Each structure stands twice: as C-alpha cells, then as structure tokens.
Amino acid sequence: MQYFPLFIDTVSLNVLMVGAGDVASRKLALLTRTEANIHVIAPEVNPEVLELAESGRILLSMRAVVRADIQNYDLIYLATANDALNSELATLATERGIWVNVVDNPAFCRFITPSIVDRGKLVVAISTAGAAPVFARDIRARLETTLPHSLKPLFDFVAEKRLEVQQRLSKTATRRLFWERFFDSNGDRFDARTIEHYHNAFTNLLSRGEILLLDESVNAELLPLAAMPMLQRLEWIYSENRLNETLSELVRRDANRGEIPALSEISAEYEQGTRMLIVGNTQKINQLIAHFPMAKHLRPGAI
C-alpha cells in the first residue's frame, strides 16, 4: 500500500493554493467545503476563484509566488501552468516539512486527493494511487447512486444522539448492539420514523452471542457475501495459527485475537453475548460443530 488513507481534521488547518486557473478552481470547490483556512496566490485569477475571495471564503493574493511563501502551512497545492516552478516549490516544501500536492504530477506529491463521495459526516474516499483516476471516478459514480442523500441528516442525528447513548448504556458491547439494532430497523432513511426506531433500539438489548466456525484450509475469497457483515461484527477471533492476509482483510480489524479456548469458555462467552470466529483445522472444526449446534459453519458458497 503506497498511499495510506487518512482523514484530516480541517479545523484550523492552513492550506496554500498556488495558482488560480481552472484546475485550481476544481480543487478549491472541494477544499472550500471544509473548515480549512485557505490562501490562494496567483497573478491571474479565474471568475470562480475571484468569487470565493469576494465572499470571504478564501484569502487571495494576486501576485506571483515567491520562495518565502512556502512556509507556515500544513498543506500546499501547486497548480500553476509552469512545471519547472511547481517542481522547484514542491522540493522546497518537502525540505521544510510541509505536505505538498503538485496537480497531475504524482512524482512530486507528498499526498494525493482521492475521489470523494460526500454525505456530510459520512465520507467515502476512493484512490487508485494515481494509476487510474478515470476508474476511481467511475467507482465514485456508482457509489453516488447507491448512497442516498438522506444519509447526511441521518448521521447528523446519530452524532447528536451519541452522548445520550453513552450515558444510558455504559458497556461498549451494549452500545454496539444498540446501534446495530437501530440501523437494522431504520436503514439509510431519515424520516418521521427515525426517532421511533431510535427509542425502540433501547429495548431487549440482552442477547446471546454468535459462534462462526471456519476451516483454515478454506479460501476466504470464496465465502458467501452473507458472511461479510458477520465478520465485521466480531469481538473475538480465535485461531490455532496466524490468519492469512485475505481473511485478515475481511474481519473486523479491532477485534481481539487469541488462541482457541476450552469448550466451557466458549460456551460462557456465547451466553454473555460475545461474537466470535474460530479458525482451526478440519478435525477441530468438526469437533466444534458437534459441540455447538447453534454455531454457523462458514463454507464456500454457504453458511
């Protein structure tokens, strides 16, 4: 993984944009939706950038950039038509410890801007590490049609209610179960019934756990789609050996890991509501299937 995805808090973030043509304007259209402080330096400015300056959203300096400008910023975008100038300033920014992006020149980029689907607090970022931006845009177009705009007010509502849920439900596992029940009943809608689903989700929060069994010889890529949400709800992953890379990518990353416990311990955890995945050899899995008839046996094409 060449580029590691990060979400940066833009409150008080200081950003410099060098250049104010069409390319810079497209970047600013996205940046100005954040809470960053944006300074644009360019001798010539297109109407969209000028409008942003007149509205007070950005600080505009209509002049040529100088080397002394490349300091005291968190991020710098270089979008001039002069490749030599972009390269010189990018090298200077890197030397001064500032993250820099040279538009359409990944070789000089300390970071890249992904293709983004924006639903308020829900943001999906897509990147091909600069290899195929056209394909990234195609994926974005698919997601735009899949993720409804109702998600924006829905997640504003969820953010508003998080503190109340934490105060009413002291245990992390119980809060997780609460939100799962809320989203199971409410879905991606935000309407008159959302508050009803919210209050109903507080009822009957006690439940037994879940036991998923997987033979370590099974290719995880062949597991059915129905298994994927289960793997993302796990609290514990027990295995005799280290998980292979494919399975590690499918399971919940912050789930606890450990060796396979005794049968009595598995029973106790199940009764306490723990959701677990047990990965072992064929003999071990068959033993667990016989002992735990309620367990779900994960196999290619079936559960």
In sequence order, what DSSP letters do the residues of 225-245 get, joined into one string?
TTHHHHHHT-SEEEESSPPPH
* Model confidence band, residue 149 (pLDDT cutoffs 50, 70, 90): very high
Confirm whether 5 is domain-assigned: no
CATH code for the domain in which residue 118 is found: 3.30.160.110
Residues 118 and 142 both lie in one domain: yes
Residues 249 and 288 both lie in one domain: yes
- Note down the domain range covering 224: 210-298
CATH code for the domain in which residue 292 is found: 3.40.1010
Residues 39 and 99 both lie in one domain: yes
pLDDT in tens, 156-196: 999 999 999 999 999 888 898 899 999 999 999 999 999 99
Q: Is the pLDDT of residue 126 over 90?
A: yes
DSSP-derived secondary structure for 152-198 = HHHHHHHHHHHHHHHHH--SHHHHHHHHHHHHHHHTT--STTHHHHH
- Joined together, the tokens standing for residue 44 give 């010539």
Dihedral angle at the C-alpha atoms of 27, 28, 31, 37, nearest 10 degrees? 140
Residues 237 and 256 both lie in one domain: yes
What's the rounded Cα separation, in Å, for the pair 94 and 114?
Answer: 20
Residues 50 and 141 both lie in one domain: no
Q: Is the pLDDT of residue 302 over 80?
A: no
Residues 155 and 188 both lie in one domain: yes
Residues 173 and 214 both lie in one domain: no
Structure confidence at residue 3 (pLDDT): 87
Residues 80 and 21 both lie in one domain: yes
* Model confidence band, residue 200 (pLDDT cutoffs 50, 70, 90): very high
Q: Are 222 and 301 in contact, with CB atoms under 8 Å apart? A: yes
Confirm whether 6 is domain-assigned: no
Confirm whether 4 is domain-assigned: no
What is the mean predicted confidence (pLDDT) over 122-141?
90
Confirm whether 231 is domain-assigned: yes
Average of per-residue pLDDT values in the chain = 93
Residues 65 and 23 both lie in one domain: yes
Confirm whether 9 is domain-assigned: no
Confirm whether 87 is domain-assigned: yes
What's the rounded Cα separation, in Å, for the pair 77 and 239?
Answer: 47
pTM across the whole model: 0.77
pLDDT in tens, 55-107: 999 999 999 999 999 999 999 999 999 999 999 999 999 999 999 999 888 88
Confirm whether 8 is domain-assigned: no
* Model confidence band, residue 303 (pLDDT cutoffs 50, 70, 90): low
- Joined together, the tokens standing for residue 231 give 């793997």
Residues 130 and 62 both lie in one domain: no
Q: Which residues pair with 214 in a beta bridge?
A: 279, 298
Instruction: Quote the number of domains for the chain.
Output: 4
Percent of the chain scored above 70 by pLDDT?
99
Residues 264 and 237 both lie in one domain: yes
Confirm whether 31 is domain-assigned: yes
pLDDT in tens, 224-236: 988 999 999 999 9
* Model confidence band, residue 204 (pLDDT cutoffs 50, 70, 90): confident
Residues 105 and 131 both lie in one domain: no
